[in-house]
Structure 1
């Protein structure tokens, strides 16, 4: 795999508190047509969740999100992460992600950050926080002077807002949590998660 952007129109952004939920949740997302699963490194269970999804869920392409240190890059890849996503980037973090051997999406929210990544040979990036940073109108404006940059917008995107992003030529996919409603997760209602994932996977770029 060389790119995260082509796996699916939507990448679920998953926060896992209980490792026992990781496999059934991932299976529901894959069954619904969303194979790329970003497990955020916001909980103590995250790395083990990545490990068990990678080992036990055929068809899942599990990645690590909220990667903010070179150490987290190494830990994520060791756990089985097949891609990396960061909310922002530094030279040290970018170097570690580049050396990791897996695709990565460093986060940007300004044109200067985009230009800096392009100077480093990186053309695929995360746009975060998407809604707060200007939404589809911002990305449409960026596409004129910087058409070579492509994005996975994440942050505040809903099922209703996703199509406006996916219609843009410089957007490969979006990240979101709307297919993971807290009440469904609390009830372990994996059938509902699968149904919502199927609706999300039907969105077209």
Structure 2
């Protein structure tokens, strides 16, 4: 129930989205869908985030809406109540991990070291977020740990670009990458949703 393995197969790129206005969430979700992306990680970095998740869950049910940047047990509960269908954390404490399990939702827990990945694997989690990917060693790191940790798959996030994404996606241990470039801040500010669709279309072609 809690495994995030299926999440890694929804799209080659999982959009990591920050919205300042909850009203933007639905058109962003529809723009991503129009570009062939069927999943969205809406981060809990702004006061608008929970309301945005509620709107997408209610109005665009065909997209798989998740809550990202979940850092506290309370946020995990709030995101589940808002209608999130999965959770993503940048790292994991024991309390946060327990809270994520308690929601019953699939989730991608964040790991940036071998020990963190092993600890999560001990809890039965085999699909992890590798964060922050580029500062933590990037493609070379994932290649190095594939031998000792062959049962783990990752969604690397953090500093990944359209140019570097294919190098990650070429690894057998990578199911998808997280990318913020699909919903740039200037496009959101200008409500240029057609640009988001174009970027989503390019990202979906990375498969």
TM-score by length of 2: 0.96
SS of the equivalent of 1:50 reads helix
RMSD of aligned C-alpha atoms?
1.0
Listed as ranges, the gaps of 5+ residues in structure 1 are: none
Alignment match of 2:24 (pick from 21, 26, 31):
21
Alpha-carbon distance in structure 1 between the residues aligned to 2:77 and 2:174: 28
SS of the equivalent of 2:46 reads coil
Alignment match of 2:182 (pick from 151, 155, 179):
179
Aligned to 1:33: 36
SS of the equivalent of 1:42 reads coil
Tell me whether 37-46 or 97-106 shows the greater mean CA deviation. Answer: 97-106
SS of the equivalent of 2:14 reads strand
Question: 1:84-105, CA deviations, whole angstroms, 9 ceiling, x for partnerless residues?
Answer: 0000001111111112111101
SS of the equivalent of 2:140 reads helix
Alpha-carbon distance in structure 1 between the residues aligned to 2:115 and 2:108: 16
Listed as ranges, the gaps of 5+ residues in structure 2 are: none
Q: How far apart are 1:158 and its partner, in Å?
A: 0.4
Q: How far apart are 1:182 and its partner, in Å?
A: 2.1
Q: How far apart are 1:32 and its partner, in Å?
A: 0.7
Question: 1:42-93, CA deviations, whole angstroms, 9 ceiling, x for partnerless residues?
Answer: 0000000000000001321100001011111110000000000000001111
Q: Counterparts of 1:181-200 in structure 2 under 5 Å?
A: 181-200=184-203
SS of the equivalent of 1:152 reads strand
Question: 1:126-171, CA deviations, whole angstroms, 9 ceiling, x for partnerless residues?
Answer: 0000000000110011111101011000000000000000000111
Alpha-carbon distance in structure 2 between the residues aligned to 1:152 and 1:38: 12
Question: 1:158-199, CA deviations, whole angstroms, 9 ceiling, x for partnerless residues?
Answer: 000000000001111100011112221111111110011010
Alpha-carbon distance in structure 1 between the residues aligned to 2:182 and 2:45: 19
Aligned to 1:124: 127
Q: How many residues align?
A: 204
Alignment match of 2:99 (pick from 92, 96, 107):
96
Aligned to 2:116: 113
SS of the equivalent of 2:7 reads coil
1:138 is the counterpart of 2:141? yes
